[in-house]
Amino acid sequence: MPSFELSEEHQALSDTVREFADEVVAPVAALHDAEHSFPYKVVEQMGEMGLFGLPFPEEYGGMGGDYFALALALEQLARVDQSVAITLEAGVSLGAMPIYRFGTEEQKQKWLPGLAQGTALAGFGLTESEAGSDAGGTKTTARLDGGQWVINGSKEFITNSGTEITSLVTVTAVTGTSENPDGSIRKHISTIVVPSGTPGFTVEKAYNKVGWNASDTHPLTLADVRVPQENLLGAEGRGFANFLQILDEGRIAIAALATGAAQGCVDEAVRYAGERVAFGTTIGSNQSIAFKIARMQTRAHNARLAYYDAAARMLAGKPFKVQAAMAKLVAGEAAMDNARDATQVFGGYGFINEFPVARHYRDSKILEVGEGTSEVQLMLIARELGL
Ligand SMILES: Cc1cc2nc3c(=O)[nH]c(=O)nc-3n(C[C@H](O)[C@H](O)[C@H](O)COP(=O)(O)OP(=O)(O)OC[C@H]3O[C@@H](n4cnc5c(N)ncnc54)[C@H](O)[C@@H]3O)c2cc1C
């Protein structure tokens, strides 16, 4: 029989994170959003709970869980605060995971324990001004000189790159070129770990974003940045293939986050529709409002099934690229659609920033853009269909 029932362990984790989200994260979410301040205290507590180490083995300071556990935690956090959820998502799936997947034993021993315990954060620097959806457009370069990589270039929109506890950013850079059989030039893109504070590595002023205001996002400049040759992560020239794998997995995590956002909008709308009185009755007793919320719940449910399926395939060692793309697509759209509908249910209050639905309205748009736009997901799905 097909089953989407959670195991006892996964259910317990989900319940614990849900309680933490409601009791610790939610009460300070509006404040951090308004102040555009990074929630250090919350992140510290998440570290103590082991959330940053969920999918990593205990020998590297992790909890010995799996990627689905991370996804469940993200869903519960994002219900109440997408900024906190993306800090965890980017810290684990983009920051620490490349080191776990592609690092040497020495690199793992050196960097993973702090990242897995949440006392340090890592960023993943892929996007550039001319390399977003078309990530092969990378212009940042790295050349070897006297046993060191000398890196030059810039990055855009890098999450977790400038906090007080950021220990490193892994950047993609062109480390050489070769000629394809048809005469075209192939760039060798590699990934290199750049520790925070390395001379020439500048974390520029934080963006003034529409949403995710309590998460940390900066442009980066790399001017003759020198790091040891052994900071190369994975084989030279394998960076492109490696980050595509990281992004495939990351889409499951983002889909889970988006599912949480979609569900948070439902929860808020149900509560408000049961309380708010207009024309002598609660607004939820109007079928148009009730149906709107029923549709929102259906979107959240479908998004959840989609990411559960992609995660199950991933954990079973089956191909999951297309399922992850579909999950990211439907969940991102569910979050945005639900945020729009929830603000409608709230009327004028939905337009006031301190209300959670207003925050979801601003936060959710990026879920149709980050870690591959909806169009990029559609390209992957269409390609699978032979189109
Ligand atoms: C808050 C935030 C956090 C981020 N965090 C990170 C991070 O930690 N690390 C990182 O590396 N990046 C990060 N990003 C970057 C993000 O992943 C990119 O913005 C995203 O991949 C889109 O790239 P782009 O902005 O260059 O848009 P573009 O690629 O320029 O796309 C612009 C539009 O054109 C569409 N488009 C492009 N090509 C096609 C095509 N062939 N067919 C149809 N439509 C197309 C796109 O779908 C989109 O609608 C972050 C961005 C933000 C805003």
Whole-prediction pTM: 0.97
- Residue of 268, 371, 375, 384 marked catalytic: 371
Element (H, E) at 44: helix 40-49
Least confident of 2-11, 128-137, 144-153, 200-209: 2-11
Residues 123-236, CATH architecture: Beta Barrel (2.40)
DSSP class per residue in 86-138: HHHHIIIIIIIHHHHHH--HHHHHHHHHHHHHTSSEEEEE--BTTBSSSGGG-
Domain 241-384 has CATH 1.20.140.10: yes
Q: Give 216 Cα–ligand 1 centroid separation in angstroms.
A: 17
Mean pLDDT across the chain, nearest whole number? 96
- Mutation to probe ligand 1, out of 168, 217, 257, 369 (largest number of atoms < 8 A from CB): 369
Confidence of residue 325 (pLDDT cuts 50, 70, 90): very high
Nearest CA to ligand 1 atom 45: 375
Q: Is 156 a catalytic residue?
A: no
C-alpha of residue 127 to centroid of ligand 1, in Å: 8
For the segment 175-210, what is each residue's pLDDT rounded down to a tens digit? 999 999 998 888 999 999 999 999 999 999 999 999
What residue's CA is closest to ligand 1, atom 31? 133
Closest atom of ligand 1 to CA, residue 373: 47
d(CA 203, CA 220): 5
Mean pLDDT of 48-65: 96
The rounded percent of the chain whose pLDDT value lies above 70 is 99
Supply the CATH classification number for the domain 8-121. Answer: 1.10.540.10
- Domains 8-121 and 241-384 in one fold: no
How far apart, in whole angstroms, are the C-alpha atoms of residue 333 and residue 254?
12
Q: How far is residue 44's CA from residue 38's CA, in Å, rounded to a whole number?
A: 11
Rounded distance between C-alpha atoms, residue 26 and residue 77, angstroms: 9
Q: Tell me which residue of 198, 194, 157 sits closest to 172, measured CA to CA.
A: 194
In this structure, are residues 63 and 45 in contact, taking their beta carbons and an 8 Å threshold? Answer: no
Phi, psi of 368 (to 5 degrees): -95, 5
Q: Is the dihedral of CA 194, 68, 263, 287 positive or negative?
A: positive
C-alpha 252/C-alpha 264 separation (Å) is 18
Q: What is the pLDDT of residues 87-130, one digit of tens each?
A: 999 999 999 999 999 999 999 999 999 999 999 999 999 999 99
What is the distance of C-alpha 162 from the center of its chain? 16
Residue 165 Cα to ligand 1 middle (Å): 26
Domain parsing of the chain, residue ranges? 8-121, 123-236, 241-384
**Would you say the CB of residue 371 lies under 6 angstroms from ligand 1?**
yes
What pLDDT digit, counting tens, does each position of 39-55 carry? 999 999 999 999 999 99
3-state secondary structure (DSSP) of residue 225:
strand
Atom of ligand 1 nearest to the CA of 160: 8
| Ligand 1 geometric centre to CA of 207 (Å) | 15
Distance CA 325, CA 320 (A): 9
Q: Is there an atom of ligand 1 within 6 Å of 127 CB?
A: yes
